[in-house]
Amino acid sequence: MSEKEAKRVYVVEQVLAGKITVRQAAELLEFPP
């Protein structure tokens, strides 16, 4: 698993756990809004 994939998995888990919003996740993963 690449570092980018690992970060994506971590961020998705944070969203599912309700710790961050989808918007925050997108910013963390550097997706455009």
Q: Which two tokens stand for residue 30?
A: 């550097």
pLDDT recorded at residue 9: 95
Q: Quick: pLDDT tens for 5-23.
A: 999 999 999 999 999 999 9
Q: CA torsion sign, 11 to 16 to 17 to 20?
A: positive
Pairwise CA distance, residues 19 & 32, whole Å: 21
> Amino acid identity of 1?
M
pLDDT recorded at residue 30: 84
1 vs 13, more confident: 13
Q: Is the pLDDT of residue 33 over 90?
A: no
Nearest-5° Cα angle at 5, 16 to 31: 70
pLDDT recorded at residue 1: 79
